């Protein structure tokens, strides 16, 4: 009986609260920024940004842009909002914000940074911390984010070669190329192991064609040699071996028919 009385009291309280809210008696949530000047809003946003509270920083920067889209802080607010979303792991909103900045301010002194940030957003969205997906089958991953990251870094390096962000962008481009080549090679290996030798050859050829000089291409040639051998295409197999000998004269594929594991090397490593 006591439990039943408690339930009745709780139900009544909920009904009364709903009725009071409907009548406008309960106070609505107050917008603490309503009376702030744009300078104060920017200062609060910057304080949140500098202290690492990126959720609040993004909120304040977006509010500032909405209130004063042509003010003195508008451009900085837009790019800082994009970075805040990026740090807050909201890649979709970060890309939306940085794309808006690039579209609205193509002549901004910060435009090189905007392209760098766009590359970083896609780069980390797909690659992130290496250990986060080190055990994942790469053939199941969509390389679109890698390609988008590469395109942004490439635009930065080509159009703003003197930018302080260009050297790091160039390194990340090489990383992306290696990762995309590894994606194709891993898919080729996947097909080879399932007996789909022509499909394996096609994916290996894609790596060789699209990602010239990527370290993963040694494995691409190795898969082609094994696949042509399995298909009985001895002339094509021997052609692939000649290319391997010319390009990778010390390759294990030439002596062992396979590549020994090297624990010191991983597909994601940059090459010089």
Closest to 80 in 3D by CA, of 42, 123, 39:
42
**C-alpha to C-alpha distance for 101 and 116, rounded to whole angstroms:** 13
Please give the pLDDT value at position 4: 47
Identify the H or E element spanning 205: helix 197-210
**C-alpha to C-alpha distance for 194 and 232, rounded to whole angstroms:** 17
pLDDT of residue 28 exceeding 70, the answer is no
CB atoms within 10 A of CB 205: 16
Please give the pLDDT value at position 7: 44
Helix axes 166-193, 144-159, angle to 10 degrees: 150
Percent over 90 (pLDDT), the chain: 60
pLDDT of residue 3 exceeding 70, the answer is no
User: Between these two residues, 252 and 232, which has the higher pLDDT value?
Assistant: 232
**pLDDT tens track for 54-64:** 999 999 999 98
**Rounded average pLDDT over 122-134:** 55
**pLDDT tens track for 210-219:** 998 898 999 9
Question: Domains plus CATH for the chain?
Answer: 38-128+137-171 (1.25.40.10), 172-255 (1.25.40.10)
**C-alpha to C-alpha distance for 123 and 153, rounded to whole angstroms:** 10
**Rounded average pLDDT over 194-204:** 97
Please give the pLDDT value at position 262: 57
126 CB-near residues (< 8 Å, 6+ apart): 141, 142, 143, 144, 145, 146, 149
Contact status, residue 115 vs residue 152, Cβ threshold 8 Å? yes
Please give the pLDDT value at position 264: 47
8 CB-near residues (< 8 Å, 6+ apart): none
Please give the pLDDT value at position 125: 63
pLDDT band at 131 (very low <50, low <70, confident <90, very high): very low
């Amino acid at each position: 009986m006591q439990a039943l009385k408690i339930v009745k009291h709780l139900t009544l309280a909920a009904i009364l609260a709903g009725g009071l809210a409907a009548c406008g008696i309960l106070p609505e949530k107050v917008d603490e920024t309503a009376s702030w000047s744009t300078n104060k809003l920017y200062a609060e946003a910057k304080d949140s940004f500098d202290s690492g509270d990126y959720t609040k920083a993004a909120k304040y920067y977006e509010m500032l842009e909405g209130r004063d889209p042509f003010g003195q802080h508008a451009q900085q607010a837009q790019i800082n909002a994009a970075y805040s979303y990026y740090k807050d792991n909201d890649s979709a909103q970060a890309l939306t914000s940085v794309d808006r900045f690039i579209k609205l301010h193509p002549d901004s002194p910060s435009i090189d940074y905007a392209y760098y940030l766009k590359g970083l957003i896609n780069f980390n969205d797909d690659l992130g911390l290496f250990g986060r997906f080190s055990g994942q089958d790469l053939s199941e991953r969509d390389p679109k984010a890698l390609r988008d990251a590469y395109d942004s870094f490439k635009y930065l390096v080509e159009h703003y070669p003197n930018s302080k962000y260009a050297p790091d962008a160039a390194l990340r481009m090489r990383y992306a190329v290696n990762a995309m080549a590894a994606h194709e090679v891993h898919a080729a290996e996947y097909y080879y192991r399932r007996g789909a030798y022509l499909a394996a050859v096609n994916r290996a050829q894609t790596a060789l064609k699209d990602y010239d000089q990527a370290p993963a291409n040694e494995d691409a040639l190795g898969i082609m040699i094994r696949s042509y051998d399995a298909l009985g295409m001895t002339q094509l197999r021997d052609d692939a071996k000649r290319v391997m000998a010319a390009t990778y004269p010390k390759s294990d594929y030439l002596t062992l028919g396979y590549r020994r594991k090297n624990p010191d090397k991983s597909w994601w490593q940059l090459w010089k």
